[in-house]
Amino acid sequence: MATSAVAAGKLEIARRKGVSIPEGWLIDGDGKPITDVTKWVRGEGGFLPLGGTPSHGSYKGFGLGLVVGILSGILSGSTIGLLREPPTPETRGNYSDHFFGALRIASFVPVDKFKKTMDDAIEALEALPTLPGVNKVTVPGGYEAEIVQDRETNGIPLEPKVARDLRELAEELGIEYEL
């Protein structure tokens, strides 16, 4: 998960569509908001942490990001984003950081009780009222599972430019374009 205010994929989508991004996602070197995604592409901006600004709790997102960086970066033998140099061919492969952890649930609470409480919590979360424009509350993975189901049924939507690029690449390689 991204511990920044937004995942980089959202910036890539905005770049491809040629649209501006909301304030609160990126800042420039002076701490001013960036809404022009091309500045980020040129390396002129940085992500804000979850929460965005101090008045919205960014210190919590910063702390969470730091813990994730330590566990998945430093502990994995790589580094942390702040210390990363621009990638070179020699260092490029070292930026795929991961953290795997395991807990023995029975050391804390009986497994059956844990499972029942988790089921109850999920049911309660998914029954919460929603904000305008939000269909329902889902637990992590629920939204993505719905997307997978929709795309298995209706196909994967492609930006027109991506579809054109794929068609041109297929022609260039002499392979059939089947999209």
Give the pLDDT confidence of 64-111 residue by residue, as tens digits.
989 988 998 888 877 777 776 665 655 555 556 788 889 999 999 999
pLDDT of residue 124 exceeding 90, the answer is yes
Q: Binning pLDDT at 50, 70 and 90, where does residue 174 land?
A: very high
**For residue 111, what pLDDT is reported?**
98
**For residue 81, what pLDDT is reported?**
73
**For residue 42, what pLDDT is reported?**
78
Domain with residue 8: its CATH number is: 3.30.1370.60
**For residue 106, what pLDDT is reported?**
97
69: number of Cβ within 10 Å: 20
Please check whether residue 110 lies inside any domain of the structure. no
pLDDT of residue 117 exceeding 60, the answer is yes
Please check whether residue 166 lies inside any domain of the structure. no
Reduced to 3 states (helix: H, G, I; strand: E, B; else coil), residue 56 is helix
What is the per-residue pLDDT across 47-73, written as a single tens digit (0 to 9) for each? 899 888 888 888 888 899 899 889 988
Please check whether residue 13 lies inside any domain of the structure. yes
Extended beta strands in the chain, E state: 26-28, 33-34, 45-47
Question: Alpha-carbon distance 172 to 179, whole Å?
Answer: 16
Residue 34 φ/ψ, nearest 5 degrees: -110, 130
Question: Alpha-carbon distance 29 to 45, whole Å?
Answer: 6
Please check whether residue 39 lies inside any domain of the structure. yes
**For residue 20, what pLDDT is reported?**
93
**For residue 86, what pLDDT is reported?**
64
Please check whether residue 51 lies inside any domain of the structure. yes
Predicted TM-score (pTM) of the model is 0.62
Please check whether residue 29 lies inside any domain of the structure. yes
Please check whether residue 7 lies inside any domain of the structure. yes
Q: How many domains does the chain have?
A: 1
pLDDT of residue 116 exceeding 90, the answer is yes
* Range of the structural domain that residue 29 is part of: 1-84
Please check whether residue 95 lies inside any domain of the structure. no
